[in-house]
Structures are given as structure tokens and as C-alpha cells.
A and B are shown apart, each in its own frame.
Chain A
Amino acid sequence: MRVQVNARNRAFHFEADNGEKILYAGLRAQAGLPYECATGTCGTCKARLVDGDIDDGWPHAPGRKHLKPERGEFLMCQCAARGDVSIEVASFVYPADPGACRVGARAGTLGTPRALTHDVVAVDVELDAPCEFEAGQFMAVNAPGVPGMRGYSMVNFDQPARRLEFVVKKKPGGGFSEWLFSGKPAGARIQMVGPLGKATFHPGLAKNILCIAGGSGIAGMMSILARAKAADYFSKNKVHVFFGVRTMRDVFFLDELAAYPKADITVALSEEDPPANARLRFERGLVHEVAKRAMAGKYRDVRAYLAGPPPAVDAAIRVLLLDARLTADNIRYDKFS
């Protein structure tokens, strides 16, 4: 099927496979279409159908609350073209940076999940074919028998990667996480689209780094730390990491974080006092408040990366824009709702 996208500045033409979501087909063809979660929740990939027919794979997607269906609006991440279609997006769209990692369909085999806490596991996917991605990116992931896709950030960093590591938090009603936590998923075939996401880190940035992560949002930060270490980034730039969880019962990756002695790492506990004699620095408080106290006066030449539950990300954005006065292009995150 042939898809024409009329953006505000120009048109893009690309082929979509039968059943392939229009967003994924466009990204695969190097069109920099707008998206954030790429999995039906954020509404960023909104488009308007001008001509042709589409199939909506998830008519109840939460991201549809941003749409006006009577105007023919739909989510490109959920809809596939039924024949040739012509659609319109309201924003400027540019071709993907030729140096960026190619987006595509990926497949692999799930390893055995390892419990990190009572409700968080780490799990590996052995890829059928190696894949390039930037630190901080994510994959849209689909498990057999579970409808739809969910975004998970890569924890590891390898160039190219034969294995992807993800962190998954158990979420009641979350299709993928419930599937992963019930039964024996090891050996299952996993379908993915990616790599996705613009909150990427490259050592060429040469700025000080501030990572603020809540819960499983630490996943992408681990990839950034691994990338930074491989490039000896710590010798020339400061790297601050703030990792927020509720209690000691919820914290994980302490050994992995301790493996970066040159990074300035703080764990924020929102619901209990910090333990005595810990290897890492612990503080009491919400992660954005802990970061705000610790970072006062240290915002010179800083690029910030944020991840975690949307209220935590929003609170951190507020601190960075209004108190720290960072410019918007130095605050990077991919919103999942």
C-alpha cells in the first residue's frame, strides 16, 4: 500500500505492508513522523485521513482522547492502511537524520526473567539479527497472545546489540507485564518495532548530564551510563543520576549503579528514611525534590534526561524549566501517557 503524508512543510511517500501501522511504516522509510509513546497512549502521532481507508487496531486506545474523530483524526501508531491512503499531519516533518539508527521490525527470543524486586523483573531478548540503537531509546514490544505493543527502554548498550535487556514493572491490567509475570514466558517469540525515542545520549554532546528517573524509568539511564563509560565520558563531564523509588523494598540495580564510581548517584526514597551504611548516597524525598536540592547552582551546561511515571516526569520538567532555567531543547524525555 502506498501512503502519502502531507506535512506542514512537504509531502512524504512510502510503502506500508499489509497490516503494518502507518507510523511504523513511515519511520521505517526514514520519515520523521511525530510520535512519542508509539503505543497508543500519548496522542502525539495524531493524523487526519484525507483519502482512502484505514483499520484501527485499538479503537479504545487512551491516546484517542486527543482526537476529533468527526474530523477524520486517528492515531498513526494504531492504524494500518487498507489500500492506498493520503493523510495529513499538522506539524513540520523532516526526513530522519541519515546518521540515526534505522527503525524496523525486529524479532527475538525471550530469556528467563530475573526478579529485581517484588514487582520488577529484568528480562533479556536474544535478537534474531543484531540491531543498532542509541542510549536512551526504547522498543515497542509485543508478546504472543497479548494485543498491542508496549514501550520498554533498553538497559544495556552494545553496538550493535545481539541482546536487548529490559526492565518490566508488574502492572495490574498491563497486558505485557501480566503475561510476563504469569506462567513461564522464557523461550517465547517476541516481536518488536524500533529503536524509537528522541531522549538519546551520544558522547559527542560534551555536556554535563543530569538523569532523573522514577522506578523502572532507570532502565534508559543505565544505557546512558554504559554508553558514557564506554566513551570515557566521566573524565571530562559531570554525570548526576537521581533514582527515585518508594522504599528500600522497591530499589534495584544498586550493584550496577555502584559500578560507576565516577558518576554522582543519589537514590531518593519517598516513603522511608535512608538506610545507614549504604554504598550509594541515599536521600529522603520525592526524586525531583531531592534533585532540586542537590543540583542548586550546578546547572551550567547541563543536558537533562527524564523518565518514569508521568507525574514524576512533569514535576521534574517544572523544576528544570522554572527553577533551573534549562532551555527546552536540553530537557529530553519520551512521554508514555
Chain B
Amino acid sequence: MAKRMVCRVADVPENGLKECEADGGLKLVVANAGGEFFAFQAICPHQEVPLCEGMFDGSTLTCHMHLWQWDVRTGAPLGIAEAPLERYPLVREGDALYLGSEPTALDVGELFSGLAPATLEKLASLARREEHAAGAAIYQRGDPADDFLILESGRVEFQIGRDPAGFMLKKGEIFGWAALLENHPQRIASARALEKSVVLRFNGKQALAVLESDPASGYVVMRRLSGLIARFFVVAGAK
């Protein structure tokens, strides 16, 4: 595939932001952090506000509308932000910036983003890619819970227990996380593709073995996982 130019280096002011359209029509916001460049989705995941209108101090990107904030190096949410930014790797050649390879669901996912590269690579090697047609059940309550899944593209609805209202999942979000827990051999929820969707399937035991070999990453993952589970069940006293 042809190289896709994003912008000239000189277009992005030092410690500033610039909205750019990469060749082929992908809108990005590019941040210049002291001469290092980072690119993200151009629009805030909260209320569709252009992030180029936000504030940037060289390390933290803030949407001016409701003060959601992200770490510019990773796109990880900070403070009151509820969702990460999708990051697009950039490659610098001369005085221009080009799109690097597109981030995978593993890179942008809320569970594994920012882990040690060697660990991410091992996890990626465990992934099996599956495609589900619109309406297809990915798993049902009572099914064995050996694997967890990460949504790569499409839309998946995730329902816990008998609650008729599902959670709508987006790219990078994990479901079937019972596979990472002890003593949860069966699904307590069901998951269904709402449109044609691609998911990455991981065996829970294999993934845990990788995390045990890198306990620092494993600790980060377990912290994130417990926060994620709490989000599904804790309702009152949000702030």
C-alpha cells in the first residue's frame, strides 16, 4: 500500500495541536510533544468535539468541552475521561509525517494498551481472528468460559444475567473476561454481533501464563480488569 502522508513537520507548532487529513481521507489530530509527534482520532470520543480545539501542554491533551484528558504518549484516559483515544503510529521521513501501520485492537484495547512491547507481541501471537455475521451469537450464558475476546471491528452487544439492556462494545473493548478469573468456568453473560464483526479470541490460561512471565504488565492488566468489572456492576456514587 502506498505511503499515506499526514502532514509536514512544520505544520504542527511546538507543543501544539493540528488537525490533519491523511492521504486517503483519515482525519487525525497530530500533537507535537517537544519534537516527538503523536496522532489520534480527530474527534473526542465523548461528544464529537474536534480535539484540535483542545488544550495541550506537551504531555496531556485536554478536550476543552468537558475536560476529558489523555496521556499524549499512549492515548490512555486521565482524570475524568471515560474512554481512551485511538492512537495512530506516525513515521517521520525528512520533513514529513506518514501513517505507520494501523493500530490493532490489542494496541488500542483498554486492557493491554501500553504494556511492554515483548509481552504485547506474545499476547498477539495467541490471538485467533474470527468473523461473525450480523446477529450471530458469539457465546451464550452457560457456555464454557475458556476464552476472552477483544472486538477488532464491528459492533457487539454484551448482556449480563437477565438484564434486558446490553452493553454496546467498541473497538478494543474486551468481553468474556471470566476466562481471566479463577473459578468461573461458565459464561454468566451472552455476546452477540450486531453487525458483521471481527473479534480476536485468546485462551485465558495461555494469556495468564504470558502475564505471569511479566508480572509488572500482569499487575497493570489485573488492575485494569478489576476496574472494568467494577464498571459493569457498580452503579451508584459515580463521583
- The reply to whether the CB of A175 lies closer than 8 angstroms to some CB of chain B is no
| Segment 69-88 of B: residues with Cβ below 8 Å from A | 69, 79-80, 82
Tell whether A317 pairs with B57 under 8 Å between CB atoms, given A32-B238, A91-B46, A94-B235.
Answer: no
Apart from A9-B167, A98-B236, A328-B67: 20 A-B pairs, beta carbons within 8 A? A4-B165, A8-B167, A9-B232, A9-B235, A11-B163, A44-B47, A46-B47, A91-B82, A92-B231, A94-B236, A95-B235, A95-B236, A317-B64, A318-B55, A321-B57, A322-B55, A328-B79, A329-B79, A329-B80, A335-B65
Number of A-B contacts (CB under 8 A): 63
Do A329 and B167 touch across chains, with their CB atoms under 8 A apart?
Answer: no
- The reply to whether the CB of B239 lies closer than 8 angstroms to some CB of chain A is yes
CB distance from B235 to the nearest CB of A (A): 6
| Segment 240-259 of A: residues with Cβ below 8 Å from B | none
**In the complex, chain A residues whose CB is within 8 Å of the CB of B167:** 8-10
**In the complex, chain A residues whose CB is within 8 Å of the CB of B216:** none
Do B239 and A11 touch across chains, with their CB atoms under 8 A apart?
Answer: no
Tell whether A9 pairs with B237 under 8 Å between CB atoms, given A91-B46, A328-B69, A328-B79.
Answer: no
**In the complex, chain B residues whose CB is within 8 Å of the CB of A327:** 79
| Segment 84-110 of A: residues with Cβ below 8 Å from B | 88, 90-92, 94-95, 97-98
Do A6 and B47 touch across chains, with their CB atoms under 8 A apart?
Answer: no
14 contacts between A and B (CB under 8 A): A8-B167, A8-B168, A66-B48, A90-B46, A91-B82, A94-B238, A97-B237, A98-B236, A317-B64, A317-B67, A318-B55, A327-B79, A328-B69, A329-B80
- Report which residue of B47, B79, B168, B231 has the largest number of chain A beta carbons within 10 angstroms of its beta carbon: B47
Question: Considering only CB atoms, which chain A residue lies closest to B236 in the complex?
Answer: A95
Contact with B along A198-220 (1 / 0, CB 8 A): 00000000000000000000000
Do A66 and B47 touch across chains, with their CB atoms under 8 A apart?
Answer: yes
Chain B binding surface, main DSSP class: loop
Interface size on A, residues (CB 8 A): 29
Contact pick for B235, options A4, A10, A328, CB 8 Å: A10
CB distance from B168 to the nearest CB of A (A): 6
| Segment 77-131 of A: residues with Cβ below 8 Å from B | 88, 90-92, 94-95, 97-98
Contact pick for A328, options B62, B237, B238, CB 8 Å: B62
Contact pick for A314, options B64, B165, B237, CB 8 Å: B64
**In the complex, chain B residues whose CB is within 8 Å of the CB of A95:** 235-236
| Segment 151-206 of B: residues with Cβ below 8 Å from A | 163-168
| Segment 55-109 of B: residues with Cβ below 8 Å from A | 55, 57, 62, 64-69, 79-80, 82
What is the interface of chain A, defined by CB distance below 8 A to chain B? 4, 6, 8-11, 32, 43-44, 46, 66, 88, 90-92, 94-95, 97-98, 314, 317-318, 321-322, 327-329, 331, 335
Do B64 and A9 touch across chains, with their CB atoms under 8 A apart?
Answer: no
CB distance from B20 to the nearest CB of A (A): 22
Question: Considering only CB atoms, which chain B residue lies closest to A44 in the complex?
Answer: B47
Do B165 and A6 touch across chains, with their CB atoms under 8 A apart?
Answer: yes
Q: A98–B235 Cα gap in the complex (Å)?
A: 12
**In the complex, chain A residues whose CB is within 8 Å of the CB of B235:** 9-10, 94-95
**In the complex, chain B residues whose CB is within 8 Å of the CB of A4:** 165
Question: Considering only CB atoms, which chain B residue lies closest to A99 in the complex?
Answer: B237
CB distance from B166 to the nearest CB of A (A): 8
Question: Considering only CB atoms, which chain A residue lies closest to B56 in the complex?
Answer: A322
Q: A322–B65 Cα gap in the complex (Å)?
A: 15
**In the complex, chain A residues whose CB is within 8 Å of the CB of B232:** 9
**In the complex, chain A residues whose CB is within 8 Å of the CB of B47:** 43-44, 46, 66
Q: A173–B115 Cα gap in the complex (Å)?
A: 55
Q: A97–B235 Cα gap in the complex (Å)?
A: 10
**In the complex, chain B residues whose CB is within 8 Å of the CB of A321:** 55, 57, 62, 67
Tell whether A322 pairs with B238 under 8 Å between CB atoms, given A9-B231, A328-B79.
Answer: no
**In the complex, chain A residues whose CB is within 8 Å of the CB of B231:** 9, 92
**In the complex, chain A residues whose CB is within 8 Å of the CB of B62:** 321, 328
Question: Considering only CB atoms, which chain B residue lies closest to A34 in the complex?
Answer: B47
**In the complex, chain B residues whose CB is within 8 Å of the CB of A44:** 47, 66
Q: A92–B46 Cα gap in the complex (Å)?
A: 10
Do B164 and A11 touch across chains, with their CB atoms under 8 A apart?
Answer: yes
CB distance from B67 to the nearest CB of A (A): 4
**In the complex, chain A residues whose CB is within 8 Å of the CB of B57:** 321-322
Contact pick for B80, options A88, A98, A328, CB 8 Å: A328
Do A92 and B164 touch across chains, with their CB atoms under 8 A apart?
Answer: no
CB distance from A304 to the nearest CB of B (A): 11
